[in-house]
Amino acid sequence: MNKKRFMAFVACAFALVAAFALVGCGGTSAQTAGSAAGSASAGSDDSADIKTLTVGFDQSYPPYGFVGDDGEFTGFDIELATEVAKRCGWELKLEPIDWDAKDSLLNSGAINCIWNGFTMEGREDDYTFSDPYMLNGQVIVVKKDSGIKSLDDLAGKTVITQTDSAAEDVLSGDKADLAATFASLETIGDYNTAFMQLESGAVDAVACDLSIAQYQLAAKPDEYVQLDEMLSEEHYAVGFKKGDDALASKVTETLKEMDKDGFVKDLCEKYADYGISYDNWVLK
C-alpha cells in the first residue's frame, strides 16, 4: 500500500469510528434527555409547595361556612381547613366567594381550593378532589303543615334550590322526570334565602343537601320536616384545580391524621346541634 492510499484508509477509518461514536453519544444523550424529561414530568406537581391556603367558600352555607354571632367566619369546614393549615405550616386565608364564580377564581389562582360542603359526584372531570370525607345526600324539606309527605306529592308544587348546587344538578339530571312534575323549579343565590321563601309560603319545598336540611331542622324542629326519600346520596370533598394532585393528597393525609387523634370527632360533637354527625364521616 503506497503512502497516499494508506493516508486515505486512515482518514476513512477515523471518520467511521467518529460516526459510530457520534451515534452512540447521540443515543445516550437522547436516553438521558428522555429520562430527565420523565423525571421532570413526574416531579412537576409542586402544588403542595404553598405558603398560604386560600379557601373559597360560601359564607351563607351553615353549618359548613357562615358568619358567626361575633361577625367572624366560622363553620365545620372552616374549622377543618384552619386545623389543616396549622398542621401543614400554611397561612390560612378565608375568601368568601360568589358561588357562580368559583371556577374562574380557582383557575385564576385567586383561591387554591373550594372547601364548603362541596359535593364531588358529577364533578370529577372538572376538579382534582381530596378523598371524600363526609357522607351527604340531596333531600326535600317542606313545612310540617304542608300536607306533602312524599316526592309524588310535589306534583304541581313550587320547589326552590341554590343556583349551581348539587340539588339543581340532580333535578336537571337523574331526577329530571320528577322535576317535570313541579309547577316550577326555581333557583336562588343561597339556601338561607331559600328557607326564608319556604317560611313565608312563597315556595312549597326546598331541595338541598342533607347537611343543610339537618341544620334547618335542628334550628326549627317545629317548623320543617324532611321527606324520607332522598333524591340522591353523595359525598363532600375538598375541590382543587385540575392537576393539583400533591395538594389534594397532602390535605387528605392531614385530615386522616386529624381523625386518628380525635380532632374530627370532637369537632363533629361541637357541631351536633347544627346537624353534624360523626357517623357520616367517611375518611379513615
pLDDT bin (cut points 50, 70, 90) of residue 283 is very high
**Is position 12 within any domain?**
no
Both 128 and 247 in a single domain?
Answer: yes
pLDDT at 211: 85
Short-list 240, 144, 160, CA closest to 202: 160
**Is position 248 within any domain?**
yes
**Is position 10 within any domain?**
no
Q: Dump strand ranges (E) for 32-190.
A: 52-57, 60-61, 65-67, 73-74, 91-96, 113-114, 128-129, 134-143, 158-162, 184-188
DSSP 8-state symbol, 120: -
Residue 198 pLDDT more than 80?
yes
pLDDT at 44: 65
Instruction: Convert the pLDDT of each residue in 157-177 to its tens digit.
Output: 999 999 999 999 999 999 999
Both 207 and 222 in a single domain?
Answer: yes
Mean pLDDT of 205-234: 94
Instruction: Convert the pLDDT of each residue in 32-81 to its tens digit.
Output: 333 333 333 334 688 999 999 999 999 999 999 999 999 999 999 999 99
CATH number at residue 178: 3.40.190.10
CB 157 within 8 A of CB 212: no
Strands 134-143 and 224-226: antiparallel
Both 96 and 209 in a single domain?
Answer: no
**Is position 276 within any domain?**
yes
For 154, the domain range is 136-234
pLDDT at 49: 95
Strands 134-143 and 128-129: unpaired
pLDDT at 274: 87
Both 123 and 248 in a single domain?
Answer: yes
Cis previous bond, 132, omega within 30:
no
**Is position 151 within any domain?**
yes
Instruction: Convert the pLDDT of each residue in 90-144 to its tens digit.
Output: 999 999 999 889 999 999 999 999 999 999 998 999 999 999 999 989 999 999 9
Q: Distance between CA atoms of 197 and 65, rounded to whole angstroms?
A: 21
**Is position 22 within any domain?**
no
**Is position 32 within any domain?**
no
How many domains would you assign to the chain?
Answer: 2
Contacts of 283 by beta carbon, 8 Å cutoff, 6+ apart: 131, 132, 133, 134, 252, 255, 256, 259
Instruction: Convert the pLDDT of each residue in 241-266 to its tens digit.
Output: 999 999 999 999 999 999 999 999 99
How wide is the angle at C-alpha 110 spanned by C-alphas 104 and 116, nearest 5°? 75
The mean pLDDT value of the chain amounts to: 87
